[in-house]
Structure 1
Amino acid sequence: MPETYWTVRWPDGAEERLYSPSSVVTELFEPGQCYPVDDFLTRSRVAMERASNRVAAKYGFACTSAMAQLDRIETRITDFAGQDGATVACLDISQ
């Protein structure tokens, strides 16, 4: 269950490195792809839930870091709510 980081470019051009306790993000995101804001949020929720569940299965407790990352994503996404055509680009995924 390798820790994985993925770098995104938000619709405002800012880049951010995001964290996952699991490589599950590679199942939902692909470097070089852009995702509509709503789709990015849905994929992020699925990824962080799966990652937290994998941690729970292995160690017996949910991953608070995954849920904290999801909280930050959800907060950041609100800046772009309602912007037609806004996308989030996945720039890189690394372990």
Structure 2
Amino acid sequence: ELIEELERLSLPFTDGSVPTDAELRIAQAQLVGWLEGLFHGIQTALFAQQMAARAQLEQMRRALPPGTLPEDGGSGVEDLAGRQTRSGGPYL
């Protein structure tokens, strides 16, 4: 889809004539809009992937037997969301 849309943006400039200033401005605005849409799509995909990974992690945590995770969270480390996670354990 993105390739087809980009080709539509470049179609008016294939005839070998020099584009006018107004045509270049329109093409620039269309290209900026196309790039913004591309970046938004990438952000959305990354966010969805992050949410799926977080859901999978929570599902794995729920599957652990009782007593495997600290209940009070006192010996853990905070993750990026500010939640307590389990630390690596004691160092010898």
TM-score range, shorter chain: 0.3 to 0.5
Q: Which has the higher strand share?
A: 1
**Which structure's relative contact order is higher, taking Cα pairs within 8 Å and 6+ residues apart?**
1
Instruction: Indicate the structure (1 or 2) with the bigger Cα radius of gyration.
Output: 2
Give the TM-score normalised by the residue count of structure 2: 0.34
Q: Which has the higher helix share?
A: 2
